[in-house]
Structure 1
Amino acid sequence: MRVVVTTESRLIRTPDGSVWTSTTADHRFWRRYLSAFDQVRVVARVRDQREPPADRRRVDGEGVEVHAVPYYLGPWQYLRRRHLVRRAVGAAATADDAVILRVPSVLGTLLCAARVRQGLPFAVEVVGDPWDVFAKGVIRHPLRPLLRRRATGRLRRECRAAAAVSYVTESHLQARYPSAPGVPTVAVSSIDLPAEAFVARPRRFVRQVGVVPTIVAVGTLEQMYKGVDTLVLAVAQLAARGVRVRLVHLGEGQYRNRLHRLITEHGVADRVTLAGWVAPGTPLREQLDRADLFVMPSRTEGLPRALIEAMARALPAIGTRVGGIPELLPAADTVLPGDPSALATAIALMLDDPARMDAASARNLARARQFSRETLEPRRNGFYQMVRDAMSRPSSGADPSPPMLRADVPGPARIQT
């Protein structure tokens, strides 16, 4: 049986037909579905380009093919191409295919509506929360409140209609987007770290006179939902309080210039480095190993890979109380999103207490080990087998309302890979 999986990843296709990504969702990622299925078809936006990206990772290959959807970026391009997009998504799966929708997702919603119209079952993997994605301060859009209500209502209906549901969190997303009674569900992250992602032992921290602690943050600058602006303002407040820190941010995107202006305006250009994109694997781990504290000031998250990777390097961490972050960090190590003063205080208190840093290092490393490949792979494979089994019988969920499943004005979707 073939499985058709939707993703919001934007892919590159070169003239030889090869498909590439700059994310961790490469061929190895998609091959995981082959544990229960004979072939994987990835449904994604694809843009043609003469050369693969410099940070290229091959997507297609043995057992994995890509079903290209016309490329668009943002709601206005989507509106101009929506008929082509819908037609392409509708043609992605046949009645004989199993379908797994990685949601929230515009493409996932379109394929869900097609399956509902045909009376065919589907499964979902819930990897993000549109309630947080459309929260105030995350995106700027005049229809933001309406989009928030529509997106969350749509995801609830998709989960209620699914024949099987997987959640990347242990309880957060399950409470907000429950499945129908009796439907098989599982809590399993999309993240599974290889053995080399982990350090052997926790860190030990000692106060060193004259040494400036390094804070590291990781996240895209394509939108402001990672809260890097809040972290920059927190660094400025720390400077005003006489607390010396150095911030290194890893990530790239269209808001880089805006962030650079914020850094300059608040006089912390000598304290903040925008290091740009860093390749996954060894290059990223080397950056994490040079830091003293990891900070995730996000306004929205599913279950953040970057935080788990930092914890696997035994880094103490401060995060915000959104998405699955409170499932990873204790309450004392979290603050509300969008509050530079609270974030600055949390950072200062952590850095000023070596014993607390030691304890956080040990605790974070132990928690990260629960996301090792050997721990999660059997659970994830079990879900895929449940999906294969569920595809052979009608979905037990209630039909979502087709009009509410339309994605006329798409917004950003968090994909956790």
Structure 2
Amino acid sequence: MRVVVTSESRFSRTPDGAVWVEAGPDNSIWRRYLVAFDRVRVAARVRDVARRPAAAARVDGDGVEVCALPYYVGPRGYLLGRRAIAKAVTAAAAPRDAVVLRVPSPIGSLLARARSRANLPYALEVIGDPYDVLAPGVVRHPLRPLLRALSTRTLRSQCREAGAVAYETERCLQLRYPTLPTTPTAGISSVDLPPAAFVPHARPVRQPPPEATLVSVGSLEQLYKGIDTLISALALMPAEGPSARLVHVGVGAYRPRLEQLAARSGVADRVSFTGPLPDTEAVRRTLDSADLFVMPSRTEGLPRALIEAMARALPAVGSTAGGIPELLTPDCLVPPDDPAALAATIAAMLAAPDRLAEASARNLDRARDFSAATLDARRAAFYRTVSEIAAGRPGRRSPVALRSGH
């Protein structure tokens, strides 16, 4: 059986037919579905390019094909091309295919509507929360309030109509977007780390250097990750306390604006942007050289970047957005959009070597819950349930939690 999976990622296709992604799920992610299906078709936006983009990873191959949907950018592009997009995504899935929609997603919503009209089943993987993604201060668009209301209502409806639902989080998304009582559900992070992602031991008690290194990771295409809050917090750190510099890993359109903010805040000499790093090992080296990971996001599902940092036994501070509180203890959390609280928490962490060591050990232990060995069996069980539903043999309800015992 073939499974068709929708994605909001934007892909590039080179003249040889290969499909690439610069920031998003690559072939290794899509191959996960092959544990229960013969073939995987990914339905996503594709543009043709002359050459492979820098630092891009392959999407297709090894049982994975890409169904190219019309390429658009932003709500306006979607609205202008909606008819063609709907036609293409509906044609991507045959009646006998299993369908998994990675939501929230305008593309996924189009296919959900088509499957419902045809009385055909679909499953969901809920990987984000539109209520948070479209919150004030996250996206600057005149239609933001309307888009927030519509997308939140749509996701709630889809979760009630889906044949099976997997959530990225343990509790957060489940509470806001519940299913019917009889729907098979699972709490499975899309993050599953290989053995090489983990360091063998937690960090010992040690005094941070005279100027500690903070590291953050994330796209700068929007202000989702709250890096502007972090830059403002850096400027508010008390002069008599620990000194710190920030290294951000990630690219996007807001980088010039963030550089200007750093200059206005008087911390330009203590903020650096790495741009795209060449590979995973380079990211891990950057994490290993840091003293504290900071994720002041305005919206999150269950953040891969934070889990990867925790696997390097890196102490971390994060916001209370999305699934972050499922990963960090309350003393390491601050509200989004609160530079003063973030500055105080960072300063307090850096001033307490024993607290940093405790956080290091705790984070490494928690990150092991996201090892590939831990999650593969749960993910396989969910996909087999989706396969049974698509074949007309509804699987038994068997909720799968992210951590055993939940």
- For this structure pair, what is the TM-score category when the shorter chain's length is used for normalisation? over 0.9
Q: Relative contact order: is structure 1 or structure 2 higher (C-alpha 8 Å, sep ≥ 6)?
A: 1
Query: For 1:322-378, what per-residue CA distance to the aligned partner results, in whole angstroms no more than 9, with x for missing partners?
Result: 110000001110000000000000000000001110100000000000000000011
User: Which residue of the partner structure matches residue 413 of structure 1?
Assistant: none
User: Which residue of the partner structure matches residue 43 of structure 2?
Assistant: 43
Structure 2 residue identity aligned to 1:312: A
Query: For 1:148-204, what per-residue CA distance to the aligned partner results, in whole angstroms no more than 9, with x for missing partners?
Result: 111111000001000000001001000000111111001000010000000000001
Q: Is the 1:197–1:281 contact (alpha carbons within 8 Å) kept by the matching residues of 2?
A: no
User: Which residue of the partner structure matches residue 281 of structure 2?
Assistant: 282
In the alignment, structure 1 residue 183 sits paired with structure 2 residue 189: no
Distance in 1 between residues matched to 2:164 and 2:206, nearest whole Å: 49
Q: Is the 1:24–1:280 contact (alpha carbons within 8 Å) kept by the matching residues of 2?
A: no
User: Which residue of the partner structure matches residue 126 of structure 1?
Assistant: 126
Distance in 1 between residues matched to 2:171 and 2:278, nearest whole Å: 31
SS at match of 1:146: helix
Identity of aligned residues (%): 57
TM-score, structure 2 length as denominator?
Answer: 0.95
Query: For 1:368-391, what per-residue CA distance to the aligned partner results, in whole angstroms no more than 9, with x for missing partners?
Result: 000000000110001000100111
User: Which residue of the partner structure matches residue 326 of structure 1?
Assistant: 325
SS at match of 2:237: helix
Q: Is the 1:31–1:40 contact (alpha carbons within 8 Å) kept by the matching residues of 2?
A: yes
User: Which residue of the partner structure matches residue 404 of structure 1?
Assistant: none
Q: Which blocks of at least 5 consecutive residues in structure 1 are unaligned?
A: 397-417
Structure 1 residue identity aligned to 2:192: D
Distance in 2 between residues matched to 1:241 and 1:179, nearest whole Å: 52
User: Which residue of the partner structure matches residue 406 of structure 1?
Assistant: none
Query: For 1:86-125, what per-residue CA distance to the aligned partner results, in whole angstroms no more than 9, with x for missing partners?
Result: 1111111010100000000111001000001101000000
User: Which residue of the partner structure matches residue 52 of structure 2?
Assistant: 52
Q: Is the 2:13–2:49 contact (alpha carbons within 8 Å) kept by the matching residues of 1?
A: yes
User: Which residue of the partner structure matches residue 230 of structure 2?
Assistant: 231
Match runs of 1:64-83 below 5 Å: 64-83=64-83
Q: Is the 2:96–2:391 contact (alpha carbons within 8 Å) kept by the matching residues of 1?
A: no
In the alignment, structure 1 residue 169 sits paired with structure 2 residue 166: no
Deviation of residue 142 (structure 1)? 2.0
Q: Which moved more, 1:54-63 or 1:254-263?
A: 54-63
Q: Which blocks of at least 5 consecutive residues in structure 2 are unaligned?
A: 396-406
Distance in 2 between residues matched to 1:391 and 1:333, nearest whole Å: 43
Query: For 1:34-82, what per-residue CA distance to the aligned partner results, in whole angstroms no more than 9, with x for missing partners?
Result: 0000100000000100101121211111211000001011111222222
Distance in 1 between residues matched to 2:191 and 2:279, nearest whole Å: 13
CA RMSD in angstroms, aligned pairs only? 1.4
User: Which residue of the partner structure matches residue 338 of structure 1?
Assistant: 337
User: Which residue of the partner structure matches residue 200 of structure 1?
Assistant: 200
Deviation of residue 207 (structure 1)? 2.0
Distance in 2 between residues matched to 1:37 and 1:382, nearest whole Å: 12
Distance in 1 between residues matched to 2:105 and 2:326, nearest whole Å: 23
User: Which residue of the partner structure matches residue 111 of structure 1?
Assistant: 111
Question: Runs of 4+ in structure 1 displaced over 4 angstroms?
Answer: 239-242
Distance in 2 between residues matched to 1:218 and 1:176, nearest whole Å: 27
Structure 2 residue identity aligned to 1:362: A
User: Which residue of the partner structure matches residue 297 of structure 2?
Assistant: 298
TM-score, structure 1 length as denominator?
Answer: 0.93
Distance in 1 between residues matched to 2:266 and 2:277, nearest whole Å: 26
Distance in 1 between residues matched to 2:292 and 2:178, nearest whole Å: 35
User: Which residue of the partner structure matches residue 262 of structure 2?
Assistant: 263
SS at match of 2:211: coil
Distance in 1 between residues matched to 2:2 and 2:222, nearest whole Å: 34
